[in-house]
A and B are shown apart, each in its own frame.
Chain A
Amino acid sequence: MAASKEDDTISITVEFSGGLEMLFSNERKLPLSIPAKDDTGARTNVAYLVNYLCENAMKDPKKELFVLDGTVRPGILVLINDADWELEGEEKYEVQEGDNILFVSTLHGG
C-alpha cells in the first residue's frame, strides 16, 4: 500500500515449513529487509533472495540442505504469496514490497 520506507530496501516475510525451520534457528517466520537491487543494479529476484538467506540468515553450516547447484535443492517447494513459484516465474520473479515467500520441504513420513 505505502511505498517502502527507503527506496533501497524492501520488506518481506520469509517463512519455513516441513523441517526447513531447523536450518534457520527454528524460526518459522522471518521478517526481512533486503536490498531492492543486486550488485549489478538489477531488481532483486528470488534467486538473489535464496543466496541472501544462505549467507545472512542460515545458521546451520550444512548449506547443501537448502541450496544445491546454485538453486534451491530438490524437494523444496517455493511458494510466493500462497502460489507455486512456477506460476510466478520461479527464480526470476522480482521480489515486491510486502511479499510472503514460503519455503516448504516435502515430507515423507506416513
Chain B
Amino acid sequence: MTETVPTTQLTEVQAQRRTRMAGVLARRRAADRRFRWLGFIAVAFSALMLAFLLVNMSSAGVAGFQRSEVRFDIPLAGSMQIDSRRLTQSDPMGGLELAGLEKVVEGAAKKAFGPDADDLVAQGAWREVASALIDDPSLLNGTYHASLPASDDLASAQRGEGDAAMQQVAKKLVREGKLVRTFDKGFLSRSDATSPQSVGIWGALKGSMLTMFITLVLAFPVGVLSALYLEEYAPKNRWTEWIEISINNLAAVPSIIFGLLGLAVFLGLFPNYRSAPLIGGMTLALMTMPVIVISGRNAIKAVPPSIRDAALAIGASKVQVVFNHVLPLALPGILTGTIIGMARALGETAPLLMIGMRAFVASPPSGFTAPSSVLPVQIFLWSDEIDRGFVERTSAAIVVLLVFLLLMNGLAIYLRNRFEKRW
C-alpha cells in the first residue's frame, strides 16, 4: 500500500469539468424555479377554483334565504266571530277558517293594494296570519301588522322579470315600503312546495339525516369488521382475494349502478318502502362500506406491528390483540375515513334518483319508512323547476348542503391532525 503525497490541487480534467458545471448551473437553477412555479400555480389554480365555486354558489344562495313579502295592516279586532279560547283547542286552524279569516285577510289586502290584491299576495298566505294568531291569541283584539309572502308574479317582478305592468306595480310598492325582500326564517323549517315563495329545506334535510343514519348504522360496523378481518385474520387464499377485489372494485363502481342495484334488489324486497330513507340508506350504505373498509385497512395497517408483537408475547389471543390494541389505535383513522365516506354519501344524487327519492314530498318525513327526499335530490329537482324564483332557492339549498359537507370535512381533518402519529 503506497502513500502518494497529498495535494489539494485540481487536475486539469477536474478543472475543466468544474467550468462546465458552472456553465449550466444558471440554467438548471432557472429550471428548478420554473418547476416550482408550475407546482405553485397548480395548487393556486385548484384553490382558486374551489374559492370561485364556493363564492359563486353562496353569493347566489344568500338571495335564496330571502323572499318577497308584502306589508299591510289587518284590523282583527271585532272582525271575526271567534273566541280566543277556541285557539287553544284542537284544530284551531279549522276554527279560524270557519270564522272567515281568509276573507278578512283578503279584505285588508284589497284595502291596502286595491282590487288586484289577489294577484299580489301569495295564495294561502292567510295561513301565516292564522299561525301567528294561534301562537299569540291576544292579537285577535288588535291590528295585525302583516308581512306576508308576495305572489310568485310579484316576486319575480320585484327581481325585474316577467310582465312589464307588474314590474311597475312592484317598483311602486317597493317605493312605498309595502314590498320588501326580507330574510325568510321559514326556509329552514318548511318543506317542498309548488311556489318558490313558500318552499323550505327542512323536509329534505331531515330526509338526508334519516338516510345518513341508516347508512352509518349499516356501513360502519360492517365496514370496520370487514377491515379487521381482511387486515388481521384473512388467510391469503382465493376466497379472501375475491373479497379484496370486490371491495376495491365496489369503491370505484359508478354510483348510478348502486342505484340500479337498489332498484332491483332492495325495492324488489321491500316494494312498500319506495322513496323511503330506509332504502336510500341501505343503497348508500353499500356505497359507503367499501370506503370505510379501505380507510379502515389503512388505519389498521398503520398500527405498528410491534404493538401486536408486544401483546401476543404476553399471551394475548388474536382477538384480544385486535380488540384491545389494534382497533382502539386505528379508530381515529377509521373515523376519519367514515366521515369522508359519509360526506360523499350525503352529497350523492344519482343512485337515489333510481330508487324513487325524487318525489315531491310536502311534509318532513315522519320516520325511516316514510317517503322522503334528500338535500342533493332536492337541489336537482329545484334546478329543473320552471319558475325562475327557484334559481335562488336552489343556490340556497346548495349553501345548506355545502355547510354540512364542509363541517364534516373539517371534522375529518381535525381528527386526522389530532391523532396523527401517536406512537
Do chains A and B stick together as partners?
no
